Structure 1
């Protein structure tokens, strides 16, 4: 089969090569037309006399020099809290959760993936859930995987549908929090 392909390729090469030779040997059917006349341009001005200044147009780029104050030296051990200049506002402290977030009871269990069940895969997935103040998962990541991609994916999909009791601060107000949720998959 490879021999046929080689012969066919060689035959095509010879045909193309012969066609190119015939086209090169044939006289041109049409005479070459002269290029269209180039449009006339005004000549460039001559050099300016020595010492003559040509005014340049003024451009406003909007750039301005801004001087920033030097950074404050780092505090020494034993110093009191640094005094901030009046132009810098302190960042409000993140509320501290007194009561951690927790999973609400009666959440639907994750479905056991059929492929993982056929292969007899089992394991425990630990999922880290960032819970928003509304009790919905804000972000989900796998803290410890089970060794099976299907089981890990099923755990994340289930936790995404769950609802949680948000963490609470000292005043009892909901605050963002996180919770680790272990999910066991056991093939039977």
Structure 2
């Protein structure tokens, strides 16, 4: 108890000293004396006066002669010839090429596992994945086009879609590689 009183007394004494000093400083007005120059001459050389303009020019150099430059040889580039573009021949329609092109369609699409950490955090969202589907119907590359803002959900979606199998895209009766966008939604 005595230590606390001692600390409070020291604090009060410090506050009183501060107020006294502050009040004295407020009452004083410090007058600043004008500073007298140490010498009458400036410590630098003045700039030279601008040159007077005349017929020869202010720089003292001769103006270029228009007639002399007209006699000098000049390089004139001829325009480059434009190569005519030949139209591409259009193949006659056949039964195979008349068939419309199709996009890959999932035939086996196991659902992604909901990550435990994302579940504990109540994270939800939709991941949009760009999937490159080969002519064999197997995803060759899966990348996040639009994130769910959860790294765990994005990774789970990519892992799941890599296991998917597709009916490949068809063009002209042939299976071809194609890229599609697949949305994967996570909700609790």
Q: TM-score, normalised by structure 2?
A: 0.48
Larger CA Rg, structure 1 vs 2: 2
Which structure shows the higher helix fraction?
2
